[in-house]
Amino acid sequence: MPIPDIPGVKADRGLAEQFRAEVAHLLGRRNNNFPGAQPVSFARKHLRELMEHDYYLCEKTDGIRCLLYFTNDGPNEIHYLIDRKNDYYFVPNLHFPRHDDPSYQTFHTGTIVDGELVYDQEPGGLKLRFLVFDCLAIDGKSQTEKPLDKRLGYFRTLVMKPWEELFVRRHPEERQFLPFELVFKEMSFPYALSWMFDVKLPDLKHGNDGLIFTCKETPYIFGTDEKILKWKPAHENTIDFRLRLGDFPPLVANGNTGGGGGGGGPDFDAKPNFDLMVFHNKGDYRAFAPLHVTDDDWEVLKSVAQQLDGRIVECYKDAAGRWRFKRDDRGRPHFRDDKHEANHVSTVDKVLESIDDAVSKEDLTRSEQRIRDAFKRRQAERERRAKEEEAMRRMREEKRKRESVGGGGEAGGVAYNNGEPADKRLKPEPS
């Protein structure tokens, strides 16, 4: 499945800086860097983590990670996609109605959602969709301090449901004019692993390269989040390096090789050495390992007919322990032109730990019953505590009524948050 390009018009430097400052202020941050959370690679120790804390499970979509920023220009709503490079792309013809306006004319501003742009394969061709998996702010209020289930609950109630009511139920014919459709990414129980591998993944309409486990109990973290776990099959466990070309071999001075002989100069048809560089600090890249390039690989690299030196390329470690470039759907190197920098050395260390201490699909499915049992125990304990607290509340209320003079007033109602608990919206447990 092809990876989509980001639609829209890229904002110039000055305008982008203005938006970066707005977003930082909205989120209560002191810097203007890309605020998106980043996962860590799944290692064996994380099996215990899934047994001790509540997580959501979803498939890892192979698309373009973006934030979607809702703001306004005077009376008009405007929307920008924000990529990993922290560049802003104006996307016209989007409308996100508010939940409290029956006319569906008013719109959200000061809102940021996190998601993935992806092509879905439909009978009529490819359909561009934005899969939302988190929410950072709604209508000028940061949601990042709330746990994930509350963030998703607010998003579903305040943003997703009004959009679905307008564009899915009332005016579905209008969706064809949208640059992309909004979709809430399905979340499952963390122990629904066999169902995920056997039912969900084979039925996907888009590319997939693993699983994501996200803790439902914790706030949104800017940058690396140790509570977002990225599991990939061994062949998909990759690192993004900066590619550095070494010297080309010299021409052989016999008149019959490479660029036609003559000797002395470099033979640009011959295969050079390739170094994979790791990002340590700003401007500080250090050699990590050679890139293993076969003769066939070299022909593929030449066929790209683009600059290779300095590009960020996704690589995997083969069975012989050699680093190879990952190929895209066309068999070409998967260059990460959506990123300014290669993976930081700290990320590289975590991926290497994940590779050396790899957790297989079979390891996951063997653990699902223990994950389920632990999840159910925590759930039962929460329900027990909730019943005790409710009983205590009622006892206090009855005591207050008895002690009040003249009968007192009516008991106050239980306060509910906006948005149903996210657990109620999870996919049914697999049978």
Domains with residue ranges and CATH for the chain: 9-236 (3.30.470.30), 238-356 (2.40.50.140)
pLDDT on residue 179: 97
* AA identity, residue 216: K
Question: 152 — alpha (psi -120 to 50), left (phi > 0) or beta?
Answer: alpha
Beta bridge partners of 179: none
**Residues 153, 154, 159, 165: is their CA dihedral positive or negative?**
positive
The encoded tokens of residue 319 equal: 């069975």
Q: At what angle do helices 45-52 and 361-403 cross, to 10 degrees?
A: 30
pLDDT on residue 142: 98
* AA identity, residue 324: R
Q: Is residue 286 classed as helix, strand or coil in its secondary structure?
A: strand
Q: From 114, 94, 98, select the one nearest 181 (Cα to Cα).
A: 94
The encoded tokens of residue 211 equal: 């699983």
DSSP at 254: T
The encoded tokens of residue 185 equal: 């990414």
pLDDT on residue 42: 93
Query: Between β-strands 64-73 and 181-184, what pairing exists: parallel, antiparallel or unpaired?
Result: unpaired
Lateral strand order in the sheet of 274-281: 284-290, 274-281, 238-245, 312-317, 323-325
Q: From 189, 172, 194, 190, select the one nearest 181 (Cα to Cα).
A: 172
Is 427 catalytic? The answer is no
pLDDT on residue 128: 97
pTM tops 0.75, yes or no: yes
pLDDT on residue 139: 98
Centre a 10 Å sphere on the Cβ of residue 62 and count the other Cβ atoms it contains.
19
State which residues of the chain have pLDDT below 50. 255, 257-261, 408-423, 428, 431
Q: Which one of 10, 45, 60, 230 is the catalytic residue?
A: 60
Beta bridge partners of 116: 65, 131
| C-beta of residue 19 within 8 angstroms of C-beta of residue 81 | no
- Residues in Cβ contact with 157 at an 8 Å cutoff, skipping those fewer than 6 apart: 99, 418, 419, 420
CA distance 265 to 4: 41
